[in-house]
Structure 1
């Protein structure tokens, strides 16, 4: 761009100088022409006012027109040759006014001159002294009476063929060409110097503008010329400072927004009105497993996830309020909010889509509803039994002692079931609210398991089961709440006894591995179907609901065991193969005493 400016400015200077030289040449040409013409006219007027016309008149009218007379007339003309400026380029003739035939010089007789406008005027007894600046010749014709009639008069005719003038013009043109060449060289040099001087600030401004385009607004231009160019440089410096500050503020705000969007849990995707994605945060990419965000298009994306929205609704139906949709993406429940954003002229510029993963809330609500239903059902059955048996006693069976005792035993059994259910619910509630009072102390897992083996052996033998405990390695004492750990292991052993048939074996193993103490309770009972393994730790979940209720199970034992073990920083896992075995493994960290 600057190179083009250099050549343009230099060209302007050169053309200006050449135009000035040409104008000067034209002025000189017209001046020389006018001078030459006016000088010819002055010479002719001085001749007209001299004695030459009277001398010629006397000579030609006093005698007959013969050779002697013509020679005298020619001699009279030659006497005025200096004043007439006669030479090889300017000639003087005496002509007959009748037919313009030559009288003198005698060597041209009897030829006639070509009639020109001035000669024609003289032949009419008028003065022929008009001139043309651009004619091929200059002439002057003066009518001289012969004393009788005008038709017999004479004409003093002077003709200049402009040869000297043409030579002068050629010399002028030659000088003018040299002047133009010199002017061309000088103007080119001057143009380059002037252009370089003028373009230096422009070069700096151009470089600064290029840095502006690349986002670099520093440093400011140090060389500030005088005049209007200096004002422009100062304006650029001020503009760069303002833009730099503005850009820093914008970058700070942009970085702040990006950090917020990157660390926010909700997914956010913004689309323009052409359905192109203009922003997406990492949460949205993870939520929808988007690998190439640049390929996202509004209608296509939301059609693929069944959102039931399209861009036209927001552009043409002028929806300015937030639209919400509940989506099911895989196993996740997502709430989508669509917020149109506008530009200054109140026209929709795009849509911001906010996605909130409400799977946990959905599952919690479903679990709450299920929990309420399960508790209601668990309480309804014993309450119905108690009410029925109570009504039966009140209706006449109080006197029948045997029947009354049987009914009251049933009422007591159902009451115990409700008491156990309520106690288990209270325990889970304390864990949920993190209000469980955990009293840790050092105790021996080995001693606890041997005590539980003795506790459950009689119950197992009544059902024809074989219950054994084996210590596989040395077991260090652990720091935990002994009562809670014992409750968890009791629930697991109790479940094994409940769901094993006669002849099955229940084995308890314990030992230490790395930094953990493990407890395994394995039985050879019926086992658990694979489809139920992921749900056995859920509250009120039973593999065989009818059989569990008959055996007095509430479906909370494993849930309580899981809460207890995890509250101590441990893990509990269950493995089973339907029809062969079930194995529950507890891992507890060997924590140091606080």
Structure 2
């Protein structure tokens, strides 16, 4: 079974298959053309034959109907019918043909069906022809049997071109089609026999080609394993024989080249494997032939997995960057291998390998991990851009109002105070921004020192909420407290955590609607206490929630600036909470409000000694 399977995969089978397929295609084209032409020509000839006889019948019938007759010669109608029958039997003797002749009174003069003679013909086509309408020959197909019939309506004209009768001919075309089918069957069987003979001859002839090719294939397999000792047999002096001779010469040349290449490869492998940078070597087609240890670490891939794969595929390059295009790529390239676990960037430099004044033989790629450098550079760019943007707005406003004051608004008793108030507001905004930036700068340098003491969490939250309730009396905002009645001991830097809670509650007040409710409460669990602040504002879209603790990020930028925000409050809050060993998060539904949660570790719930209230 395996032998037959190998035969169908062999070059011999392909050669035979090509030979037979070419003959089959040629036979099909010739047969299709021949049968189409034969069928068309046969049917056309038969139709022309019917039309010629119909025309001849109409002419003869016209002579019979217009010939002068007298009653002395006997029954005139009987004579006409007898002569007409003779003409019909003479011209249409095939059993598949039906003919009838109708006079100008629509009476059937003669017909293959003798029972119809003397009766009226109600065929609409005959009525139309008698009225002078041209009736072209038509072919009809019986919807039940599929039989095709040719119908010819031929007018019989008198001496003055008046219509004196109609010749109605119906002839079955099935006999003609059957003849064409028989010829097609003969042609098909002839083609099948020719293909079988051709396949047998092809098998015999192909062996003279495939035998030496199989020998060379076996030798090529040995050479791929490093065995260059065997020579292939030369069967003759034809092209195949010359190929075998050349193959033997090639074997000797490869044996010498392989020894030289192996020595050079070992040297190159030793150098690359001890380099501290990731190095990838490819062949001229861009397939990887070498990865040093550092490259395996950077790509998280072993040499065995990478061998033979395409360089663009391994480096996840875009489709248009083929290996040939990388030969001319002289600049460094940043490769992004980031995933859900974090960002991961590599810098790649490409160098072409080629013989002196010769073709390109490969490519060397050197990889460096630049994740941290790029992250720092990106944060620096974003920070500078954000600070510039945040300072530009108040500075522009100050400049505009100062110019207005300089131009005369200073002496306007109504405008001057308002303009100075705006200038003062923008100045305070810049001061807040600078103070926030200084505080974040200290946090980035780990220069923040926490002055931690034990406090009653519940009493501290009540103090904060009492202060805010006094501040929002005129804003129609209600505070709901969900705090336990018993004390909760927690170790925090009170000033810094107060700044965090103030920032979160201030944001809740800013974005709460008129008459809204802000809920502040705590949940206690084994690891610590959770503080939550929930408002009834517009909420934050789900795709933006993970960004709100980034510096300068605002969901609604225009409204946040109008309300005096710097975009740094939540970033500072996050840094402060994490400095206390806690976490901060957000939960929000669009148009259903936002809840900020802070989780802090605590010491004991019921121990009340040595607290600082």
When the two structures are superposed, what TM-score results if normalisation uses the length of structure 1? 0.48
Larger Rg: 1
